[in-house]
Structure 1
Amino acid sequence: MTIKRQLEDKRRLFGIHEYAFAKTSDLLFSMGTRLLCEGNQCGHYGATWACPPAVGSYNSCVAKCRSYENVCLLSTVTDLKGQYDFRGWHRARIFHEAATAKSARLFRAHYPGALVLSTEGCILCDQCTYPDAPCRYPDQIFPSVEGYGIVVMDLASKTGLSYNNGPETVTYFSFVLF
């Protein structure tokens, strides 16, 4: 059974809202996206193995992504109780990371070297070991899509996925490169 068929069969079970396949040549990279990470709005820059500078230079991230042929873009959508529903945002992120982990296992069963990128930072540990010790879970960590300089909205648009799913929702994206 192909990976596309397996993903379709598991999509609802995993909690995936939408997904699409593309070529990595369709990815748009922007140093501006990477610079947003360096602005540290989320507080993860220089604080986790999943974010810059730990993920490598902008150029090394682009080269790593380009070394793969295909990419699958996955999204999850969670309803919020309002735009300031911070618990809802946190719950949505946990839900998304769980969906990403399930998808990662599916892809890596077929493509062991698949690169999985997800949302800002990492939520596996209460306190990251960066930069003092190696990551405790290197096979479970999903580096930040934006940390790699990828413009998420561009690929979502190219593949027909919804980037915004309504005023009181949060949409998260992950990429699986294989």
Structure 2
Amino acid sequence: MRTIADKIETIISQYPLIQYAFCATSELVFSEKVRHICETECERYGKSWSCPPGVGEVEECRKRCQDYDRVLLYTTQAEVTDSSIFSEALASRTSHEEITREMLKEFREAGISCFALSGDSCQICSKCAYPDSCRHPDMAIPCIESYGILVVDLTEKYQIDFYTDMHTVTWFGLIFYREKDRE
């Protein structure tokens, strides 16, 4: 009998993931300090359902994540002409987001209960409806940092490289799932 992880490996083998690791959700570190960066440095703070405060308090986010016992940590990379140009680096996330959505779709079609967090705030709509109701709640993918997750801790533990140079941007994603679905 195939495990959920086996099913996931079959699915993700079809995608251009650079590295990945299967982790326990209990290994994630949540911190209000990450949120402080969102609040002080991100232009989307308070303007998107995928960013604070729209995603809820860090404790709510932690509980939402811990409703799933496992998490797939993965990376994709994008080539850019100059990664120091913030707008170009940010625009390169589109393929990562498409990969994440496609993998989620396949996970769900395989009967895997899951949800995802990604490397930046949702970009489905050109302008988020926030604070009005989200137009695509089934497709929206919140930002990892918006949940207060210190993804660097997990990448170090599992030796996932954070490789970025002048022409390459690395994007991270997390897909939460249950090793055994609830009865």
Q: What's the TM-score once normalised by structure 2's chain length?
A: 0.86
Residue 138 of structure 2 aligns to which amino acid in structure 1?
D
- Summarize the Cα distance change of 1:34–1:177 in structure 2 as closer, same or farther, 3 Å threshold: same
Q: Which residue of 1 aligns with 2:108?
A: 108
1:115/1:176 contact within 8 Å kept:
yes
Partner Cα distance (2:96, 2:67) in 1: 26
Q: Which residue of 1 aligns with 2:71?
A: 71
Instruction: Trace 1:129-168 onto structure 2 (pairs within 5 A).
Output: 129-131=129-131, 133-168=132-167
Residue 126 of structure 2 aligns to which amino acid in structure 1?
D
* Count of residue pairs the alignment pairs up: 175
Q: CA deviation at 1:90?
A: 3.7
Residue 48 of structure 2 aligns to which amino acid in structure 1?
T
CA-based RMSD? 1.9
Q: Give the unaligned 5+ runs of structure 2.
A: 178-183
Q: Which residue of 1 aligns with 2:28?
A: 27
- Summarize the Cα distance change of 1:167–1:3 in structure 2 as closer, same or farther, 3 Å threshold: farther
Q: Secondary structure at the match of 1:59?
A: helix
1:14/1:102 contact within 8 Å kept:
no
1:157/1:163 contact within 8 Å kept:
no
Q: Which residue of 2 aligns with 1:80?
A: 80
- Summarize the Cα distance change of 1:143–1:92 in structure 2 as closer, same or farther, 3 Å threshold: same
Instruction: Trace 1:83-102 onto structure 2 (pairs within 5 A).
Output: 83-86=83-86, 88-102=88-102
Partner Cα distance (2:101, 2:21) in 1: 17
2:97/2:118 contact within 8 Å kept:
yes
2:116/2:176 contact within 8 Å kept:
yes
1:46/1:53 contact within 8 Å kept:
yes
Q: CA deviation at 1:166?
A: 3.8
Partner Cα distance (2:112, 2:150) in 1: 24
